[in-house]
């Protein structure tokens, strides 16, 4: 076995640290990027749920005034950067429920994650509960 004087390296050991540091930094950057994308996806889903609630309440308010709930829902959805994928009014002018389904594109594609987020919301006026 070769003896090494203090402060000297064995042949073949020089430069092994640099690739390890590069790999560690790349792993950390990748992990951070995935975390940021996951947080952005979560924020988009939360925003779509809030928009769905607003669209449903707006449609219900319009329906109670005698207007077309789905037309109003479509208008409010457009102003909130979501697409109205479905709208249904159940009941009459007094007892009714407006159901809306809205979607929004995420804007980027992450493998294993959907390209759009969606939410369903209900609003209305129901009297005479048993």
Count Cβ atoms below 10 Å from residue 80 Cβ, excluding itself: 17
116-125 β-sheet, strand order: 83-91, 96-105, 116-125
Predicted TM-score (pTM) of the model is 0.73
pLDDT at position 115: 85
Helix, strand or coil for residue 103?
strand
Query: What is the residue-level pLDDT of the chain in tens, covering all 130 positions?
Result: 556 566 666 666 567 788 888 899 999 999 998 888 888 888 889 999 999 999 999 999 999 889 999 999 999 999 999 999 999 999 888 889 999 999 998 877 777 778 889 999 999 987 765 5
Residue 54 · residue 36 · CB < 8 Å: no
Widest distance between CA atoms in the chain: 95
Residue 51 · residue 104 · CB < 8 Å: yes
Q: What percent of the chain shows pLDDT beyond 90?
A: 53
| H or E element at residue 86 | strand 83-91
């Amino acid at each position: 076995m070769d003896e090494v004087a203090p402060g000297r390296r064995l042949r073949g050991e020089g430069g092994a640290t640099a690739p390890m540091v590069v790999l560690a930094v790349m792993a950390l950057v990748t992990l951070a990027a995935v975390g940021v994308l996951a947080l952005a996806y979560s924020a988009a889903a939360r925003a779509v749920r809030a928009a769905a609630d607003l669209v449903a309440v707006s449609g219900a308010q319009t329906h109670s005034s005698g207007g077309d709930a789905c037309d109003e829902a479509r208008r409010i959805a457009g102003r909130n950067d979501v697409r109205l994928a479905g709208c249904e009014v159940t009941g009459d002018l007094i007892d009714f429920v407006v159901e809306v389904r809205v979607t929004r594109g995420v804007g980027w594609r992450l493998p294993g994650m959907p390209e759009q987020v969606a939410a369903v919301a209900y609003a209305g006026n129901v009297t005479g509960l048993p």
